[in-house]
Amino acid sequence: MATGSGRRRPRVSNPIGVFDSGLGGLTVVREIRRRLPSESIVYFGDIARLPYGIKSKEQILSYSIQNTLFLVKRKVKAVVIACNSSSSAAFRFLKNHFRLPVIDVIEPAVQSAFVGIHRNGVRIGVLATSSTIATGAYEKAIHKKDPSAKVFQMACPLFVPLVEEGWREGKIVRDIVKYYLRPIKRFRPESLILGCTHYPLLRPVIQREMGPAVRLIDSAKPTVEKLSSLLNENELSYPDSRRGFLKIYVSDLPRNFIRVGETFLGEKLHHVELVRQK
């Protein structure tokens, strides 16, 4: 497998690569555009093989390698795994086999969940896909930070299809959210990690159901903070006055892609190209 091990050092003007199983990673792209506006971005959404969250770790790893190679061929200078399922199944492999900075969304989210908490035994909830929970990635990361932390995880398999279809409000959405959150409300977490990049689109409904005392953790902001730090450490930041470009590739182009994608991104979608992963 070609891993880019022979690549020359990337130029600072090269884009940042971001991939996700679908549209959820655009929440991370939106934060990059806000925090690092001069950086260009190449995004790949593997919509044809969505959802990753119900697939085996081996299958997700295979997809993640293909997605990273796709981005490397487009001369990216760093890769953001904007997918919790891929982060849990493939981060270590990608970090060890590609000679460029690779950032996941799990470790930054866990670090953020502890901000402002200065005692042991914190109660942290995690909403995620079945595959992410099965890897134990969040539980391991939380207990590495605080071995006495109490963790409650809940798989929410219907959240991704709801969001991909553009369903963010309404009785059906509220009923599904209420169903999934019932056990975690009894746990009474102090922080609740939205352990899938699709889930922040349901944040208002989730927050209303959990109540204002529970702090919701969206991985986008801490992930981009980590990205910014790694770019600086590797002297890859691009301090230009012009706004960077955004190029979007998808493996399928559903009818409502533009409408839903613009909701994720918070801006108009341009330059969307359909590609087929083999």
28, 105, 126, 196: the catalytic one is 196
Tell me the pLDDT tens digit for each residue of 119-170. Answer: 888 999 999 999 899 999 999 999 999 999 999 999 999 998 998 888 989 9
Tell me the pLDDT tens digit for each residue of 24-80. Answer: 899 999 999 999 999 999 999 999 998 898 899 999 999 999 999 999 999 999 999
83, 102, 105, 184: the catalytic one is 83
Q: Residue 48, SS3?
A: helix
CA 163 – CA 97 distance, rounded (Å): 33
pLDDT of residue 121: 87
Amino acid at residue number 112: S
Residue ranges in the chain assigned as alpha helix (H) = 26-35, 57-72, 84-97, 106-113, 130-135, 137-145, 159-164, 171-187, 203-210, 220-233, 257-265
Domains of the chain (ranges plus CATH)?
16-104+221-274 (3.40.50.1860), 107-219 (3.40.50.1860)
98: tokens are 């590609």
Tell me the pLDDT tens digit for each residue of 176-193. Answer: 999 999 999 999 999 999
Of 230, 224, 267, 231, the C-alpha closest to 248 is 267
User: CB 174: neighbour CB atoms within 10 A?
Assistant: 14
83 labelled catalytic:
yes
